[in-house]
Amino acid sequence: MRAASGLSRTGTQGRPKPAERIRQTPISELGIVGAAVGAALTGLRPIVELMYVDFSGLAMDQLVNQAAQNRFMFGGQARVPMVMRTQGGSGRGNAAQHSKSLEAWFAHVAGLKVVMPATPADAKGLLTASIRDDDPVIFLEHKLLYRTKGEVPTGEHVVPLGSADVKRAGKDLTIVSWSREVLFALDAAKQLGSEGIEAEVVDLRTLVPLDKDAVLSSVRKTHRLLVVHEAIKRAGFGAEIASLVAEEAFDDLDAPPRRLAGLETPIPYAQHLEKTVVPQVDDIVRVAKELVA
């Protein structure tokens, strides 16, 4: 667990030495994030790393009451340009205290931005944009995505926050997802395509800010919506997408929006049980067929 003083102070000439840029810290999430908030307020752009998103609860006062609120409370005179990187999600047998998907927590807090990349190229481009942003950004990485490979642009590569990406075009239904479930959705779309159902896969990439236009444009083309995410269904971010479409594109729908999400249970340790509580490729295929039928 470590915090890194990511960039030099505004206006400082030259590049800090590595020893000045990376700081190993005691295992205290409250202290790590609190130090990052203070560093950001003094002009640095710190990147703070927590080993698991499950431990972010220990630093929620610093995130929710300090990082997210300072710019508003000081009338824009104070900025907190920090990034909190952490990993979440299941699939590695890390059990209940190390496998949560808590993006809905952060998305509910005014002042925080929430980023969840699904591909290596997006991870690079979104992290660059997050570091350069003047607001605090929660950068959530799925632990199993560290194994994935893909082409990554060399040199300057920035993916703007609030820009969704259509990972696969289709005409019969829209599948909206983020993080690891995007890869599952793409596998499901390929299988559906072999059966004559063309699914469009929209990767949100950032939950806050949300690219509403991309979601609405896709639904208005396909007339059906399936939202897929690993977090528990109850009060999950998928409800936000479903309600957005119901409010702004109701007349374009040929069927009610559907949500496919995690079960209301802690993540089990046993691998065969772990897979049953979060959506898998076969689950997406099944629900998509029900929606189209």
Tens of pLDDT, residues 122-133:
999 999 999 999
8 Å CB contact between 245 and 216: yes
3-state secondary structure at position 246: helix
Q: Domains in the chain and their CATH numbers?
A: 2-147 (3.40.50.970), 165-292 (3.40.50.920)
Q: Whole-angstrom Cα distance, residue 191 to residue 158? A: 32
- Tens of pLDDT, residue by residue over 53-110, are 999 999 999 999 999 999 999 999 999 999 999 999 999 999 999 999 999 999 999 9
Catalytic residue among 20, 29, 198, 200: 29
Asked whether the predicted pLDDT for residue 3 surpasses 70, the reply is: no
Residues 6+ apart with CB under 8 A from 183: 118, 145, 148
pLDDT over 90 at 4, yes or no: no
Instruction: Give the CA count within 13 Å in the CB-facing half-sphere of 68.
Output: 20
> 6 pLDDT exceeds 90?
no
Express the helix, strand and coil content of the chain in percent, nearest 5 each: 40, 20, 40
Average confidence (pLDDT) over 11-18: 57
CA distance 205 to 159: 9
Question: What span, in angstroms and rounded, lies between the C-alpha atoms of 176 and 164?
Answer: 10
Asked if 98 is an active-site residue, the reply is yes
For residues 253 and 259, give the distance between their C-alpha atoms in angstroms, rounded to a whole number.
Answer: 15
229 carries an active-site annotation: no
- Residue 177: phi and psi, rounded to 5, are -155, -175
Indicate the pLDDT class of residue 18, thresholds 50, 70 and 90: low
- State whether residue 141 is helix, strand or coil: strand
Using CA atoms, how far apart are residues 203 and 116, in angstroms rounded to an integer?
A: 9
pLDDT digits (tens, 9 = 90+) for 183-228: 999 999 999 999 999 999 999 999 999 999 999 999 999 999 999 9
Which listed residue (20, 49, 98, 200) is catalytic? 98
